[in-house]
Each structure stands twice: as structure tokens, then as C-alpha cells.
């Protein structure tokens, strides 16, 4: 994997950003399989639904993490994103085909990783795991290897351990260069209950997926290309359109 974000051969304690989605849940299963003592961190950032927070709580309990913290940051007070409610969620578009979409949350991954970095310093964790993916995603600028490299450099400059001669927590992004198909297959091989994860940007009040936002289309394509049944709970009457691979 380019950029040095693959899973290190050895490690003990890790802070893991857990959103409740497919990617972060697969990271959680991987981290536990690799023997990490996981400190899960979920960010309630003013997103338009609570389904992913509920999924994160359930996954953290399933995997018996060392601790699970939910930190609140009101990014909805800043706005500028469909995920914080002040713009409509785009539907039925080809994911990643139209530039940076309205579902991009300004500075979200920068803020999330900064919180994870702070948590790692306090917890004495040597790693920060995140489910960033640069292959099958919606084109967000903070999902690129260049961004992770820049943040890793920042971590070395902005932490006590970094300036006192030690090594700052290392970013681990095991899904960075994987397609959604590969992520789905890896999750299956790890025994992850994929029905416990949620990806939809615009679920209904009971957490059922809309089936037409970028996240739903990418997720459905991943299951289809993997040849596995899709366990996603969709709203009644939803038919997922079959789309060719890109």
C-alpha cells in the first residue's frame, strides 16, 4: 500500500474512528483480528440522522472494545453540507462522477483525526485507525493519500511525544486502496455481521436506507460485485438500480 498506511506487523493499543458504516466496521474487525486493544471513537457532528450512532454503539459492544467514546462537535452550526441538513442529499447520481458532492462535510476528516490524535495521546495509543477509502468513494478531498500523509506529518509536529523524541501515533488506513467489493469480501472473511452496519446518507426515522444516495449506490454495487446478498434494510418498495462497474 502506498503512503505507509498499511497495518503494521506489530502494535498494541489503537484509537479507531468508528462511524457505524461498512468501512469503519471492517476496520474494527481487522483491528481486533490483529490483536489491537481498541479504543473506539465516534463523533456526533450534527449529522441529519442518528442511525449511524446507534450502529456504532452496537458494533463497539459486539467487539468488546476497551472503551467507546462519543464526542460531540456541532459541524451543523457551520453547515455547507447535505449531511448536516442545510442542503438536499443528492440522489440517483453516479458516485464520484460530478466533482465534490454536496455530501462533503467541510474539514470533517481533519476534525475527526484531530480528535483521534488527542485521544491517542491521552490513551497512550501508538496507532490511529480510520476507514478512509480512495477507490470506491464520492470524491471527497479528505479521503486521499495526500491528505493522510499531510496529517501524519502534522501529528509529528503537534504532539508531545513527537517533539520529545518519540514517535507520534501512526495513521493506519487498511482500506485505502480497496474497492467496495474487496471491502465487502474482507468483512465477510472476518466474520463481520454486515447487517449491523449502516451507510445511507438519508435514512428514514427507523434507519432504513433510501437506496438512491451515493453511499447506498456504492454499498449496493460492492455487494453485487462480490456476489453476496445485500443485508441492508431499505425503505419499503425500494428497488436498487443495477449499475455497471466503473
**Cell numbers 471492517: residue:** 26
Q: Could you state, in order of their start, the residue ranges of all structural domains in the chain?
A: 2-226
* Among 9, 58, 64, 63, CA closest to 34: 9
pLDDT, one tens digit per residue, over 150-209 is: 999 999 999 998 899 888 999 999 999 999 999 999 999 999 999 999 999 999 989 999
What is the model's pTM? Answer: 0.93
- The residue with greater pLDDT, 242 or 51, is 51
E strands present in 64-207: 67-72, 127-129, 170-172
pLDDT, one tens digit per residue, over 75-124 is: 999 999 999 987 899 987 666 666 888 999 999 999 999 999 999 999 99
Fold (topology level) of 2-226: Rossmann fold (3.40.50)
Q: What is the pLDDT of residue 98?
A: 66
Residue 118 C-alpha cell reads as: 488527542
User: For residues 97 and 90, is the Cβ–Cβ distance under 8 A?
Assistant: no
Distance between alpha carbon 73 and the CA centroid of its chain, in Å? 17
Torsion angles phi and psi, residue 218, rounded to 5: -65, -40
pLDDT, one tens digit per residue, over 2-35 is: 457 999 998 899 999 999 999 999 999 999 999 9
Amino acid at each position: 500500500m502506498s503512503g505507509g498506511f498499511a497495518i503494521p506487523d506489530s502494535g498494541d493499543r489503537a484509537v479507531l474512528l468508528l462511524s457505524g458504516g461498512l468501512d469503519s466496521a471492517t476496520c474494527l474487525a481487522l483491528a481486533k483480528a490483529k490483536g489491537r486493544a481498541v479504543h473506539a471513537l465516534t463523533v456526533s457532528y450534527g449529522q441529519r440522522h442518528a442511525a449511524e450512532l446507534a450502529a456504532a454503539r452496537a458494533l463497539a459492544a459486539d467487539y468488546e472494545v476497551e472503551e467507546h467514546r462519543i464526542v460531540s462537535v456541532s459541524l451543523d452550526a457551520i453547515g455547507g453540507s447535505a449531511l448536516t441538513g442545510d442542503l438536499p442529499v443528492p440522489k440517483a447520481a453516479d458516485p464520484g462522477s460530478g466533482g465534490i458532492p454536496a455530501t462533503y462535510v467541510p474539514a470533517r476528516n481533519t476534525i475527526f483525526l484531530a480528535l483521534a490524535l488527542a485521544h491517542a495521546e491521552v490513551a497512550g495509543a501508538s496507532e490511529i485507525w480510520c476507514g478512509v477509502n480512495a477507490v470506491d468513494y464520492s470524491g471527497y478531498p479528505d479521503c486521499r493519500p495526500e491528505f493522510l500523509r499531510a496529517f501524519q506529518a502534522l501529528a509529528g509536529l503537534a504532539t508531545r511525544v513527537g517533539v520529545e523524541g518519540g514517535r507520534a501515533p501512526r495513521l493506519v488506513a487498511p482500506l485505502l486502496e480497496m474497492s467496495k467489493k474487496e471491502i465487502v469480501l474482507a468483512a465477510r472473511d472476518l466474520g463481520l455481521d454486515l447487517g449491523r452496519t449502516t451507510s445511507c446518507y438519508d435514512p428514514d426515522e427507523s434507519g432504513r436506507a433510501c437506496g438512491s444516495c451515493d453511499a447506498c449506490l456504492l454499498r449496493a454495487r460492492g455487494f453485487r460485485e462480490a456476489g453476496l446478498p445485500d443485508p441492508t434494510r431499505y425503505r419499503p418498495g425500494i428497488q436498487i438500480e443495477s449499475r455497471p462497474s466503473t
